[in-house]
Chain A
């Protein structure tokens, strides 16, 4: 089945530092989505990337889709306490309706 590696599993950063999580697939992807789950909450959709090399920004968050459409990253600039949570990538292969989630990166912020 689809293999999705997400690294790191955990990240502790000082408030104000940057944070990056990476998602890597063994196969070429149709698209990739990113979700955020706050502690005790449910996953909330952040963004979807479809095109090779695509870069999208949401305020302090920058999302990139690799040229080969096999990897993606989420970068947060100048983290704030509101960024605490687990960030998941979720991938779809061509011709397949299954959405496969990565194992997630849990971000904690040291005030």
Chain B
């Protein structure tokens, strides 16, 4: 089954404790991205990657890191999480079609930073 898998689904942690949210897709998609969703603000793009070893900042990249060493994986790293990063996070992927094409989303990761 074609899917985008995120882990963990839920995480409660404390300020400053490094964490990684994994994202994996089995559709051989070139393009992957991370979003955060906050009430009243919709989905805001954090980082995106057009292919292996190619990443770029989205609209809200501060406090986050990503890497794209393999085509299928695109982990999101919070080196020193803070409470303002408490949010619902979605990973998404699509084929690289020059700015178009449907994105497939994972089920989301709800992070709470205390």
Residues on A lying within 8 angstroms of B by beta carbon are 1, 6, 9, 30-31, 33, 35, 41-45, 48, 50, 88, 90, 92-104
Contact B45–A98 (Cβ < 8 Å):
yes
How far is it, in angstroms, between the C-alpha of A94 and the C-alpha of B98 when the chains are bound?
A: 9
Q: How far, in Å, is B22 (CB) from chain A's closest CB? A: 16
CB of B80 within 8 Å of the partner chain = no
Determine if B95 is an interface residue (Cβ-Cβ < 8 Å). no
Total A-B contacts with CB atoms under 8 angstroms apart: 65
Q: List 8 A-B contacts (CB under 8 A).
A: A9-B40, A30-B100, A41-B107, A45-B103, A90-B103, A92-B99, A92-B100, A100-B59
Instruction: Report how far A60 CA is from B45 CA in the complex, Å.
Output: 30
What 9 pairs across the A-B complex have the smallest Cβ distances? A45-B102, A103-B42, A42-B105, A101-B43, A92-B99, A101-B42, A104-B42, A31-B100, A43-B105
Q: Which of B65-112 contact A (CB under 8 A)?
A: 90, 92, 98-108
The answer to whether the Cβ of B33 comes within 8 Å of any Cβ in the partner chain is: yes
Q: How many residues of B contact A (CB 8 A)?
A: 27
Q: Residue of B at shortest CB range from A46?
A: B102
B21 within 8 A of A: no
Query: Told that A43-B90, A48-B100, A99-B33 touch, could you supply 4 new A-B pairs with CB distance under 8 A?
Result: A33-B102, A42-B90, A99-B45, A99-B99
Residues of B within 8 A of A9 (CB): 40
Contact yes or no, A50 B106, CB < 8 A:
no
Contact B100 A50 (CB under 8 A): yes
In the assembled complex, the Cα of A92 lies from the Cα of B5 at a distance in Å of 25
Query: Inside 8 A of A1's CB, which chain B residues have their CB?
Result: 59
Quick one: CB contact mask for B18-32 with A, threshold 8 Å, 1 for yes? Answer: 000000000000010
Is the pair A31, B99 in contact by a Cβ cutoff of 8 Å?
A: yes
CA of A31 to CA of B101, assembled, Å? 10
- Contacting residues, chain B, for A101 (C-beta < 8 A): 35, 42-45
Which chain A residues border B45 with CB–CB below 8 Å?
Answer: 98-101
